[in-house]
Amino acid sequence: MSKEQTDYVSYLLRLWRVHDNGPGTWRAELRSAKTGERIGFASLDELFVHLSAETGTSVTPGGEQGCASRSS
């Protein structure tokens, strides 16, 4: 995606777990619906940091930030 900020971004998100003698690590891949570009992430924290940068918000790994509320 270009550095130009937009109000709408669409991705296909793919998640899978890699097991290395433990509970496993989540991996992620985003594919741009607009361009087809693929971006891979070695952890969910890396994915969240990328999405934070794309949207111009600040998120700390493991923390909750933003203005959307969660419902139980």
Q: If you average pLDDT over every residue of the chain, what do you get?
A: 81
Q: How confident is the model at residue 23 (pLDDT cuts 50, 70, 90)?
A: confident
N residues, the chain = 72
Which of 55-59's residues contact partners 24+ apart within 8 Å by CB, and which partners? 55/9, 56/5
pLDDT in tens, 33-58: 999 999 999 999 999 999 999 888 87
